[in-house]
Amino acid sequence: MFKNYTTNQVILPLDFSFQLEKNDIAFAIDQLIESIPEERFLPFNHQMGPSSYHPKMMMKMILCAYTQSVFSGRKIEALTKDSIRMMWLTQSYQPSYRTINRFRVNPLVNALLRECFVQFRSQLVKEQLIDEEAIFIYGTKIEANANKYTFVWKKSIENFDKKLTEKSNVLYDELLKDKIIP
């Protein structure tokens, strides 16, 4: 006996937030972008041509893709069609890769992405989605053998936390320079 399965049956659209876990990264991204004042998005408004996608939605989509290590415009477009988390963030809109890439190269987006890059970690710590002691920097080397010099002590992490914002800005600049982040 099989469960009832019919692909030709009409179904109502679902709210995708019910299908995401409570601590899914999409909720953190949504809250981060929604915390940005609306005035920051006013320069994106234009009076000519057809209506465009809201910059908040585009920022959410790009940040979500970046957290999944997806940087290609075509792959981000594919995520909007395949990923439940992306469908929820974009409310089932599916912008083309050209639209995504045009949005990313806008000079106004660079300033917003820089702010989000630094604020994202502090928001995740504040909401206790990651530990405050957890420091994630790409390229960090960790010693393999376990001896007394391999432990990270709380005091060193507290001292390092102040420098983390500066290093995040430097790392962001390097990623832009090396063209890892478009």
- The answer to whether residues 161 and 137 touch, using CB atoms and an 8 Å cutoff, is no
Q: Do the Cβ atoms of 38 and 98 come closer than 8 Å?
A: no
Residue 139 lies in a domain: yes
Condensed to tens digits (0 to 9), the pLDDT of residues 117-127 reads 767 766 666 77
Residues 46-64, mean pLDDT to the nearest whole number = 85
Within-domain flag for 182: no
Reduce the DSSP state of residue 165 to 3 states and report it.
helix
Domain count, the chain: 1
Residue 50 lies in a domain: yes
pLDDT at 52: 83
User: Does residue 7 lie within any of the structural domains?
Assistant: no
Question: Which of 30-34, 65-69, 162-166 bottoms out in mean pLDDT, i.e. has the lowest?
Answer: 162-166
In a domain, residue 165? The reply is: yes
48: pLDDT strictly greater than 90: no
5 within domain boundaries: no
Q: pLDDT per residue over 125-179, tens digit each?
A: 677 767 766 555 444 445 555 555 555 556 666 666 667 777 777 777 777 777 6
Query: How far apart are alpha carbons 25 and 140 in whole angstroms?
Result: 23
Is 8 part of a structural domain of the chain? Answer: no
The answer to whether 102 and 79 have CB atoms below 8 angstroms apart is no
**Model confidence at 92: pLDDT above 70:** yes
Q: With bands split at pLDDT 50, 70 and 90, how would you rate the model's confidence at 96?
A: very high
Domain that includes residue 91, residue range: 16-177
Tally the C-alpha atoms within 13 A of residue 37's C-alpha that lie toward its C-beta: 3
Least confident of 1-10, 31-40, 53-62, 88-97: 1-10
* 10 belongs to a structural domain: no
